[in-house]
Structure 1
């Protein structure tokens, strides 16, 4: 009987020891990178640095090329009676002026777009056929109750072309208001009178020449600024 109890006690101790072993924390040895892994990481970092240095060098070379062609220039703040807002970092500029006793005129001019003439039968359009133009929105304000007379125009190197003319509220447009017929469908005399309306407010051939020169400078300035921002980002360390 005594021997039987001893065996039971030994079995209980072995079982308890087995159960406790399940709860022993596992100690994982620290894994140090092997010399080969360290070497690969070093080589990878060197390649990354060399790649980023190459990007920066190409950007700096391109910026220097542009500066050698012509220096950066700040856009003038006035042209005739218009004040000029360069809108640095954006794709457009704004011009404002007062006209008469109660009119305010605002121009919003976007950067260059490219137009290709209609292709003729059997002919190909080449780079020499392409022509740059500027999109311009002309807003004429009188008072809070009269709304805004708005012109959508294309500014070519030697002329202004009205594409659309309509009235809108000062708070903008909601829904799908009637914007009138295509401008070229209007009576010829009415078309001519609307061109005279703009010209009497200083929106004329002189302004055309100024805007094209102005947007050439802006395109260059924004391009160099854009390249510089990318170069700075690539150079930034974590």
Structure 2
């Protein structure tokens, strides 16, 4: 390859890198200047944020109830909701574990937190499990029926059971907002890392 061709190739690569840099900087500016999540954030209530690393997608929250129960919640963003209204673009997957003092068994609820539009965020139980021990997770052990097959009155009472332990509307509002902001911050951080790699030395 001639020296001229080599210089032209290098020049083209520099121009492509500058174009990429321009687009990255535009996207970063857009993300930092627009806050799509201006809704009221709700409240953690008595829960404490136990884990919220900027490098992971999930969060863990804990609470000790006056009754002696310990409630632990893990959550992360799930599938897109494709809402036509101005709502959160993704639902949250929430796992709630409740343990009574002195017992090794736990109740585990797999839930989805969904923006239902018109400023209403709610959660729906997908599964309810009784686990004899958190260390005994053999898939062949019967953990409970398919939740949607339960009597609707029992489904509603199990939901009320969780609400009475602080997992109500204010909490789910906080959780889904926090997870979306967390993801947005991670996206901006990723863009900035790309920008640092592309900036000419």
Task: Report the secondary structure of 1:201's partner residue.
Answer: coil
- Stretches of structure 2 that go unaligned for 5 or more consecutive residues are 116-120
1:82 matched to which residue of 2? 47
Deviation at 1:42, TM superposition (A): 2.0
2:118 matched to which residue of 1? none
1:16 matched to which residue of 2? none
**Structure in which a larger fraction of residues adopt helix:** 1
1:20 matched to which residue of 2? none
| 2: CA distance, partners of 1:181 / 1:161 | 16
1:164 matched to which residue of 2? 127
Greater RCO, 1 or 2 (C-alpha within 8 Å, sep 6+): 2
Tell me if the contact between 1:87 and 1:94 (Cα under 8 Å) persists in the aligned partners: no
Task: Report the secondary structure of 2:14's partner residue.
Answer: helix
Tell me if the contact between 1:112 and 1:215 (Cα under 8 Å) persists in the aligned partners: no
1:190 matched to which residue of 2? 154
| 1: CA distance, partners of 2:200 / 2:14 | 12
What RMSD in Å do the two structures reach over aligned CA positions? Answer: 2.9
Equivalent residue for 2:60, pick from 94, 102, 116 = 94
Give the alignment of 1:196-215 within 5 angstroms.
196-215=160-179
Tell me if the contact between 1:112 and 1:134 (Cα under 8 Å) persists in the aligned partners: yes
Equivalent residue for 2:104, pick from 121, 146, 152 = 146
Give the alignment of 1:214-229 within 5 angstroms.
214-229=178-193
Tell me if the contact between 1:166 and 1:180 (Cα under 8 Å) persists in the aligned partners: yes
Task: Report the secondary structure of 2:2's partner residue.
Answer: helix
Q: CA offsets per residue over residues 94-149 of structure 1, 9 Å max, x none?
A: 21111125322111111152246xxxxxxxxxx62897421111111235752221
1:39 matched to which residue of 2? 4
| 2: CA distance, partners of 1:140 / 1:101 | 12
| 2: CA distance, partners of 1:143 / 1:208 | 26
What is the aligned residue count? 189
Task: Report the secondary structure of 2:75's partner residue.
Answer: strand
Tell me if the contact between 1:164 and 1:183 (Cα under 8 Å) persists in the aligned partners: yes
Deviation at 1:236, TM superposition (A): 7.9
Tell me if the contact between 2:70 and 2:101 (Cα under 8 Å) persists in the aligned partners: no
| 1: CA distance, partners of 2:144 / 2:61 | 26
1:128 aligns with 2:84: yes
- Stretches of structure 1 that go unaligned for 5 or more consecutive residues are 1-35, 117-126
Q: Give TM-score, length-normalised by structure 1.
A: 0.68
